[in-house]
């Protein structure tokens, strides 16, 4: 029988007998690299940088972990323990792109999706057994799709609450699936070392061990007053977690109210072609994200920071909501031209944003033919970019950026190779 859905508040389900899935990709950064370069599969691989440089391991393949390597370890130590490992610098845009595709797959399975980090999410799957036969089969289907489309392995935990689902996915790694039946939460957690319980960091673990507590079960039967005397209010939460009790709901992220992108130039500039090309690139990124969310915008805002750090924003309301790169860019360019005519200082940062977002309910066939062609073109470009990465396509206006590498507001380098995979 399906559980009763009592009510909805801001996309959060209030349900009796919830079923929650925790999905976490295995050795994420490394696995993305292995999918791109299959020669690396089955080998010790480290993403983080070259071993002769300072820095730490970001992700280690399970083959490398067998030599004692783990995230956070200095690269020099990793190289000493496992000199035969392949060390890779890594590419954040690549991992972000893989993450977006991962989340899109999960969203196809349940709208009650809470991304936790790039490679980790909770799904509320209460009641979904009627679609997939069982929640276990649903998890198998999710794993299969991730494998088929991204060539990545996911580990999945299924339980009645978040904390148990998370511990289960972690314990099932790599490429695992662990289903903890309702009622077995405590007995599942009890024999595990306390370090496995989310919320217990190195410091808490030490304090507990000093009190003779080494397993989650021992923590679960400690008097609550004793736990609270050690850890205050967070002690109460830990105690509940240790008993497999966790009332936290799966909370989908709040809807975006605005989308923006900005770039700081390596050197302040007054060069119009460069400013225009950068504005075009940023407009394409904003437009692409807007379409990804299925939204259109009524308002476009240009942001400029001058050499003396004075920052201005200029806004224009569109007559009709739009998700077209061209409209965002044209509006931004008008605002830029006005601003440049009023202020002669070189520009340090340029940004473009959209706001007053509405659902893009408009059908293609309702647009006039030129708008229709533009919308179709944007969608075709989006599909290619989703597959090969944003910089896989260069539009004429952005070609000028080929040799310039400004740092974007997101903290990565703006690249313009023909194929960035």
Q: How far is the CB of 222 from ligand DCP (least distance, A)?
A: 28
Residue selected from 15, 45, 59, 304 as contacting ligand DCP according to rule CB under 6 A:
59
What is the β-pairing status of strands 154-159 and 177-179?
Answer: parallel
CA distance 243 to 237: 10
Residue 347 makes CB contacts below 8 A (sequence gap 6+) with: 265, 268, 269, 270, 275, 304, 305, 306, 307
**Contact call for residue 382 and Ca ion (CB under 5 A):** no
CA distance 420 to 414: 11
Contacting ligand DCP within 335-394 (CB under 6 A): none
CA distance 86 to 47: 8
Q: How far is the CB of 46 from ligand DCP (least distance, A)?
A: 10
Helices (H), 83-158: 92-109, 129-132, 135-150
Q: Which of 260, 325, 284, 294 is nearest to 104 (CA)?
A: 294
218 is catalytic: no
Residue selected from 24, 114, 179, 382 as contacting Ca ion according to rule CB under 5 A:
24
Q: How far is the CB of 96 from ligand DCP (least distance, A)?
A: 11
Residue selected from 43, 94, 136, 173 as contacting ligand DCP according to rule CB under 6 A:
173
**Contact call for residue 28 and ligand DCP (CB under 6 A):** yes
**Contact call for residue 41 and ligand DCP (CB under 6 A):** no
CA distance 296 to 360: 5
**Contact call for residue 91 and ligand DCP (CB under 6 A):** no
Q: How far is the CB of 155 from Ca ion (least distance, A)?
A: 8
**Contact call for residue 25 and ligand DCP (CB under 6 A):** yes
**Contact call for residue 72 and ligand DCP (CB under 6 A):** yes
**Contact call for residue 263 and ligand DCP (CB under 6 A):** no
Question: Of 33, 114, 120, 289, which one is the catalytic site residue?
Answer: 120
Burial of 404 (0-12, 13-18, 19+ CB in 10 A): middle
Q: How far is the CB of 24 from Ca ion (least distance, A)?
A: 5
Question: Which lies closer to ligand DCP via its Cβ, residue 28 or residue 122?
Answer: 28
* Residue 403 dihedral angles phi and psi, to the nearest 5°: -100, 0
Residue selected from 114, 119, 124, 325 as contacting ligand DCP according to rule CB under 6 A:
119
E strand spans, 185-338: 258-269, 295-306, 311-322
With beta carbons less than 8 A apart as the criterion, state whether 383 and 393 touch. Answer: no
Catalytic residue numbers?
120
Would you tell me which residues interact with ligand DCP (CB under 6 A)?
24-29, 58-59, 71-72, 119, 173-174
């Amino acid at each position: 029988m399906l559980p009763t859905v009592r009510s909805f508040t801001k996309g959060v389900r209030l349900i009796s007998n919830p079923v929650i899935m925790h999905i976490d990709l295995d050795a994420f950064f490394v696995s993305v690299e292995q999918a791109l370069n299959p020669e690396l599969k089955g080998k010790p691989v480290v993403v983080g940088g070259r071993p002769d440089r300072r820095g730490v391991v970001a992700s280690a393949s399970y083959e490398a972990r067998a030599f004692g390597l783990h995230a956070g370890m200095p690269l020099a130590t990793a190289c000493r323990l496992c000199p035969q490992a392949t060390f890779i610098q890594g590419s954040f845009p690549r991992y972000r792109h893989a993450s977006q595709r991962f989340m899109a797959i999960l969203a196809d399975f349940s709208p009650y999706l809470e991304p936790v980090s790039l490679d980790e999410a909770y799904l509320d799957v209460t009641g979904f057994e009627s679609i997939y036969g069982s929640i276990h089969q649903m998890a198998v289907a999710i794993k299969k799709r991730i494998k088929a489309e991204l060539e990545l392995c996911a580990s999945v935990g299924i339980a009645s609450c978040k904390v148990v689902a998370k511990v289960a996915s972690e314990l099932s790694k790599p490429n695992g699936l662990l289903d903890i039946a309702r009622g077995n939460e405590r007995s599942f957690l009890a024999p595990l070392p306390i370090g496995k319980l989310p919320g217990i960091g190195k410091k808490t673990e030490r304090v507990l061990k000093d009190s003779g507590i080494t397993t989650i079960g021992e923590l679960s039967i400690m008097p609550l007053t004793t736990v609270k005397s050690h850890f205050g209010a967070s002690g109460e939460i830990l105690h509940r977690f240790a008993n497999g009790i966790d009332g936290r709901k799966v909370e989908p992220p709040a809807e975006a109210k605005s989308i923006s992108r900005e770039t700081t130039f390596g050197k302040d500039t007054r060069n119009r072609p460069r400013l225009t090309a950068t504005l075009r690139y940023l407009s394409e990124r904003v437009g692409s994200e807007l379409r990804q969310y299925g939204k259109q915008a009524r308002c476009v805002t240009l942001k400029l920071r001058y050499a003396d750090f004075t920052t201005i924003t200029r806004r224009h309301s569109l007559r009709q909501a739009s998700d077209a790169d061209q409209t965002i860019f044209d509006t931004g360019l008008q605002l830029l031209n006005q601003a440049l005519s009023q202020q002669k200082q070189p520009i340090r940062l340029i940004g473009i944003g959209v706001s007053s977002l509405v659902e893009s309910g408009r059908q293609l066939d309702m647009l006039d033919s030129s708008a229709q062609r533009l919308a179709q073109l944007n969608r075709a470009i989006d599909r290619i970019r989703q597959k090969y990465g944003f910089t896989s396509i260069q539009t004429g206006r952005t070609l000028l950026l080929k040799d310039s590498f400004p740092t974007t507001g997101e903290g990565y380098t703006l690249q313009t190779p023909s194929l960035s995979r």
